[in-house]
Amino acid sequence: MLISIAIDFRHADVATRERFHLSEERLTQLYRTARTEVITESALISTCNRTELYAWVDSDDPQVIERSVQVLARRWMRTRSEGDQLLTTATRRVGRDAAEHVVRIASGLESQVLGDGQILGQLKAAYKRASRGQAAGPVLHRLFETALRAGKRVQTETSLTAGRNSVGAEAAITASQRFGNLENARCVVIGAGKTGARASKQLHKLGARDIVVVNRTFENAQSLAGMVGGRAAAWDTLHVEAAMADVVIVATGSEVPVVEAAALRRAREACATSGYALLMMDLSVPRNIDPAVTDEMGITLIDLDTLHQPLVSAEGLRRDAVPYAKTICTDETDAFMEWLATMPARDAIKPLREALEDVARREVAFHAKDDGVAERAASRIVAKLLAGPMAALRRAVQRGEPLDQQAMMLLEMFAPAGGAGASDTRRTGAHRAVAPAPAPSTPMADKPATTAATGTRKTPPFAASQQFS
């Protein structure tokens, strides 16, 4: 069963969200400890507006799922009490609800800014991290590939992502609206990542002539400054640059505030700017500006929660695209759920595929005298031969027919002697991969699946789950 635990801007303010944010180090630890006998896959999505953990639980028993949710929450937060606190705030989803939610995230339908153009890249980065950490398996691979495909379709087939649609760009627009004409304003952008770049480019479009980019890697600051006709400043000068600014936008990946209240106060005193109007915008989670800066006269601080209200007005231009975007998400989710439902059949048909590939490979190799040609030809031949059976199984799923009997028949017909028995298959979603076979007819059913040549344990059925689309 697919499950998710989510903390997002709809149900938690920025102060709450940053409590549950995971650093790269903690995420690596989570991926190392999350796997159990039944929790076989996991992947975490982390953006400025959400932290969501997805996992595959190799059971559909409600009690097993509930225990798995508790285990994941405690691994996320390290302790039982903190995990319980997480679950009092988090939104839980299972099955189709979880799958459709991540597809909607990729499309921009669940973003704080409707159609946020950055979310697809953030989702792709999360998927890569889970893959590098060997935490994602065949189910989550398929889920994220489905979500990314849906997101790309929404971008190319609808106008949902048209116009201004990123937090960085909207922050620049809000600065222009609140401050007035930016032509004579000094704007400092701290952070040269995607959000900082969007903010800088939008400031430039809105007429800002004096843009200062500050970044830990000076070369990145120089590159972005060159794009917007601004200048780069060294990281250790950020408080002085902020003290001399009219608008400061901060968007870094720091786990602690990079703009400190005391340091900013000293810099403003040294620069004789104490009391001058300064608009500061924090686009980071965890927050990168010490909230105590507002104790200083003249400073206005806007964070993501405050920014949300003016962002809502920009969504009107993209709302007409929502119905078609939802249709795309539904279609892609349907395809994923069908793939999930036919997983037992793919597992059961694996012995047939292996037998056919072996025959085809040997016959082609005999005539071609080329192992590479034989391998490719065998795969193509078998894919064509099995296209009909797999299509029939998919139609059975669409009719709502259980696959237990068909899967058992295929397994019994094509499993090699002493090969994969019913006990070596997995439960997937609401279907058993294969129902337990009667003991008299399957004397090997209780033994581990073995290869005929070596007697070693065969790869679990999940390993073959992506062979057929």
Q: Quick check: is 329 catalytic?
A: no
DSSP structure string for 269-336? HHTT-TTS-EEEEE--SS-SB-GGGGGSTTEEEE-HHHHHHHHHHGGGGGGGGHHHHHHHHHHHHHHH
* SS3 of 129-195: HHHHCCCCCHHHHHHHHHHHHHHHHHHHHCCCCCCCCCHHHHHHHHHHHHHCCCCCCEEEEECCCHH
Distance between CA atoms of residues 167 and 306, nearest Å: 12
Task: Give the Cα separation of 404 and 242 in Å (integer).
Answer: 66
β-strands 2-8, 50-57: how paired?
antiparallel
CA–CA dist 82, 121 (Å, integer): 30
- Return d(Cα 285, Cα 46) in angstroms, integer: 10
Place of tokens 């890697």: 217
Measured CA to CA, the distance from residue 202 to residue 233 in angstroms comes to 19
CA distance 214 to 224: 10
Contact by Cβ (8 Å): 403, 432? no
Q: What separation in angstroms does the CA of 57 have from each of 91, 95, 426, 428, 467?
A: 17, 10, 11, 9, 21
User: Do 118 and 195 meet the contact criterion of CB atoms below 8 Å apart?
Assistant: yes
Active site residues: 48
